[in-house]
Structure 1
Amino acid sequence: MTEKPYDPLRLCVYATIAALAWLLGPIAVVGFALLGFAGYVRARRRGLTRSKCVLRDTRLVLAYLGVLALAGFAAIGWRVYHLLA
């Protein structure tokens, strides 16, 4: 019996997220950060304390995602300010 070849699905997912972020800019950053934040809050409430994310501790992951969301909101505000100025 032959072994199935490795399916690099994650790489396709990462490329798709990068393309959306490139097309939508800070709106995509805010969207993905808030989506991830909501997912980690739910998982933490259900008892997850260690993540497969590089940061490992879910508190660090939540802080990271929160900072990303704030940076995205700041970038949106910056763009709107410059559009109206």
Structure 2
Amino acid sequence: MTADDPRSGETSAKGQPYDPRSSGTPAKGQPYDPLRLCVYATVAVLAWLLGPWAVLGFAVLGFAGYWKARRAGLTRSKCLLRDTRLVLAYLGLLAVVAVVAIIV
């Protein structure tokens, strides 16, 4: 456990509780952790290895998450498409394309 681990009850260098969903800006004196780049690489490897099955899985997972968030009131996303209706349409289209690729 690190000093910034929420289970330790400790705080970051700024005196704020550790929040893994923070903006990614490191606390003063802390190096930037490019975790998202590792996540992107992992997703790319899974898509490469599993092909359309991975695309289908991630599309369905994303669609379910955005559907739940939209029902809870989210209308604007941090996604490049911004509008959650567009994000849902995009993820639905990806799922359909993946199914077609699996069948054909």
Q: Residues 13-32 of structure 1 correspond to what in structure 2 (within 5 A)? A: 13-32=39-58
2:23 aligned partner = none
Instruction: Structure 2 unaligned segments of length 5 or more: list them.
Output: 1-12, 14-27
- Of all paired residues, the percent bearing the same amino acid is 73
- Rg larger in 1 or in 2? 2
Moved over 3 A (4+): none
Q: 1:35 aligns with which of 61, 81, 85?
A: 61
Query: Structure 1 residues 15-24 or 3-12, which shifts more?
Result: 3-12
TM-score where L is the length of structure 1: 0.88
Q: Distance in 1 between matches of 2:31 and 2:81?
A: 29
Q: 1:5 aligns with which of 8, 28, 31?
A: 31
Instruction: Structure 1 unaligned segments of length 5 or more: list them.
Output: 79-85
The secondary structure found in structure 2 opposite 1:23 is: helix
Please report how far the alpha carbon of residue 4 of structure 1 lies from its aligned counterpart in structure 2 after TM superposition: 1.1
Cα deviations across residues 24-56 of structure 1 (Å, max 9, x unaligned)?
000000000000000000000000000000000
Higher RCO structure (Cα 8 Å, ≥6 apart) = 1
The secondary structure found in structure 1 opposite 2:77 is: coil
Alignment length, in residue pairs? 78
Q: Residues 32-71 of structure 1 correspond to what in structure 2 (within 5 A)? A: 32-71=58-97
RMSD (CA atoms):
1.1
Would you tell me which structure has more helix in proportion to its own residues? 1
